[in-house]
Amino acid sequence: MQPIQDAFPLLQTPKKIFITTHHKPDGDAIGSMLALYHYLTKKGHNVTPVSPGEIPDFLNWMPGVGNMLNYEEHPKESLSALAECDIIFCVDFNDFSRTKHLTQQLADAPQPKILIDHHLFPAPVWDYGISIPEKSSACEMVYDFINLNQDNKLIDLEMAACLYTGLMMDTGSFRFPVTTASVHAMAADLKHRGLDHTRIHEEVYDSWSEGRMRFLGYVLIEKMEVFRKYNSAIITLSRKDMNLFKVQNGDTEGLVNYPLSISGIKFATLITERCDEVKLSFRSKGNFDVSKFARQYFDGGGHFNASGGRTKTNFIDTIVYFKKILSDIHPQ
């Protein structure tokens, strides 16, 4: 992969640009994709942002969402945008399979591909790009990319809102260890432009339905198991649980973080039964590397303190297997 600066000459004249991100996108995925969309559009390009799937309701307010294609709703338009583009940007993921539906199409696409990402171990499939696992978020990296182009003054309130959303969400509202001084400096820069950070926080975190709040209560009482011996806790959600509470897309967001608020709990896992697989989300405080854990046991990856994985083993057997691993490895 050549440094991202080497791709700048490609962007000197107006181009058709396709941007995508990972499946089940979060605020950093959509925020970085839309911020880049606004920026490249301002630079005179014709840009199509494509989400591989549905986005959660709490991100529906984001500037530019209306110009984005959801592959699951519009597969034909999404694929023709890909076929017709001159350049492909990929943000907030580093392996084509993370897009689920676009895996093969991206692999087969002949156009130059540019990566902007902060996950470990990028697949060797990009022509140009920047991959820095120490960075808080893809949004911070899009901001750096804009500055590298000496275009800081082009950042408007719409771009600022997109960038801030990913920065806020991927740093756990500025509390995770990835929250560097540069993260705060970026937030300050956005704030100087008139960013309404309170509104963004409310849109993302205080827009729950009553049902979602009651579902959280149920989950914490009935579905969380704490293993003091292993400094760990798990939350297990079957399809039946989710149907009972009519759980919507995005309603399980953030659940995995709750056990880490218990003193002494260093490792939290959410095991969710999906139609075609079982999804696992891992979070840790301190020195337990959940990225390594996800890679080793659940075909996954991510970051040191936040990762995910999946398995085709059924839900009940996955829970049994997970508990066995826990007793074998004794997370500290």
**Binding site partner of 42, from Mn ion, ligand 5GP, none, Cβ cut-off 5-8 A by kind:** none
Q: Does 28 bind Mn ion (CB under 5 A)?
A: yes
Look up tokens 């297990």; give the residue.
236
> Whose Cβ is closer to ligand 5GP: residue 56's or residue 301's?
301
Edge-to-edge order in the sheet of strand 232-237: 224-227, 232-237, 267-273, 278-284, 306-311, 301-302
- DSSP letter (8 states) at residue 260: G
Half-sphere exposure of 237 (CA within 13 A, CB side): 27
Interacting residues with Mn ion between 159 and 218 (CB under 5 A): 170
CB of 153 to ligand 5GP, least distance (A): 31
Nearest distance in Å: CB 170, Mn ion? 5
Contacted entry of ligand 5GP, Mn ion, none for residue 309, CB cut-off 5 to 8 Å set by kind: ligand 5GP
Query: Per CB under 5 A, does 251 bind Mn ion?
Result: no
Residue 301 interface partner, choices Mn ion, ligand 5GP, none, CB cut-off 5-8 Å depending on type: ligand 5GP
The site string for Mn ion over 84-113 (x = CB under 5 A, - otherwise) reads --------x---------------------
Q: Compare residues 300 and 331 and give the one whose CB is closer to ligand 5GP.
A: 300
What residue ranges bind ligand 5GP (CB under 6 A)? 22, 119, 281, 300-303, 306-310
The residue at minimum Cβ distance from Mn ion is 28
- Cβ closest to ligand 5GP, residue 87 vs residue 235: 235
At 120, give phi and psi (nearest 5°): -75, 155
Least distance to ligand 5GP, CB of residue 227, Å: 19
Contact, 99 vs 20, CB < 8 A? yes
Question: In this chain, which residue has its C-beta nearest to ligand 5GP?
Answer: 308
Measured from the CB atom, the residue of 49 and 250 that comes closer to ligand 5GP is: 250
- Angle between the 157-170 and 197-205 helix axes, to the nearest 10 degrees? 50
Please report whether residue 117 would count as binding Mn ion according to CB under 5 A: no
89: left (phi over 0), alpha (psi -120 to 50) or beta: beta
The per-residue DSSP string of 159-227 comes to: HHHHHHHHHHHHTTTTTSTT--HHHHHHHHHHHHTT--HHHHHHHHHS---HHHHHHHHHIIIIIEEEE
Taking only Cα atoms into account, the Rg of the chain, rounded to an integer number of angstroms, comes to 20
Name the site residues for Mn ion (rule: CB under 5 A).
Answer: 28, 92, 137-138, 170
